[in-house]
Amino acid sequence: MAENLVNLRKASPLSAPPPGRPGLPHVSCTASTMGMLAIILGSLAALSPPCRATDVRVVAVTPGESADLVIEDGAPVTIQVGQTIEGVKLLRANMDGAVVSAEGITETLPLVADGSIDHAAPSSTVRLSADAHGQFLTHGAVNGQPVQFVVDTGATLMALSRPEATRIGLDYRGGRPATVETANGEARGWRVSVGSVRLGEVTVRDVDAIVIDNDALRMGLLGMSFLDRFDMHREGSTLVLRRR
């Protein structure tokens, strides 16, 4: 009988109370430790974020319109905002990357370079590299005269300062007087149509522009009146403009 009681105690995680101390059986150290581990592991599993199994990379974007995605190391595929391909839905696209949804998980993915892209640019394409501040600066020409530009997608019109317009011989005073909002407040100016604007080997004709009546602009602004003539997207730190 005593032997059976000994075997029972060894086999059970519950032990009787110590002699002379009535009460409920106490849980053994081993059982208590295992229970705590189960609780901790369960809590960690609940806190862990869901993991997306599908590998997706953003290699090019056309802000507000589409993105080129590499899905599971396949060839880049262009997806329009709101479209779903291979289980990946494009929710948003901007200059820095894209927001996608796959397998019930929504993620913001950065724009990365894709070494498989052929960078030989045709004559209808302009490629601009970002500077250390993320701005796209370039040298171009207005009516055949050299002008330095900075890309400004927030500007409705291409813009030049009055001294710059005077330097290149632009007859801005024949334009329509206008008022424009600048970083320094309102400024007077003139709405004009520029005969030609050239970047690289690409020339765009009859571009709406504004000449601002001050010298605050250090360089010309390439606004949407010029950029809208192109399909525009980014590849890593490069802005690609393809003539429409």
Q: What is the pLDDT of residues 185-225, one digit of tens each?
A: 788 999 999 999 999 889 999 999 999 998 888 899 999 99
Bridge partners of residue 136, in order along the sequence: 130
What six digits make up the tokens of 176?
A: 């329509």
Bridge partners of residue 157, in order along the sequence: none
**CA quadruple 94, 239, 134, 64: dihedral, nearest 10:** -10
The backbone torsions φ and ψ at residue 159, rounded to the nearest 5 degrees and listed phi first, read -135, 145
Q: What is the CATH number of domain 125-243?
A: 2.40.70.10
Give the confidence band of 6 by pLDDT, cuts at 50, 70, 90: very low
Q: What is the pLDDT of residues 97-137, one digit of tens each?
A: 899 998 889 999 988 765 444 444 446 899 999 988 889 99
Q: What is the CATH number of domain 56-110?
A: 2.30.30
Q: Are strands 220-222 and 145-151 parallel, antiparallel or unpaired?
A: parallel
Indicate the burial class of 62 (C-beta count within 10 angstroms; 0-12, 13-18, 19 or more): buried
What are the structural domain ranges in the chain?
A: 56-110, 125-243
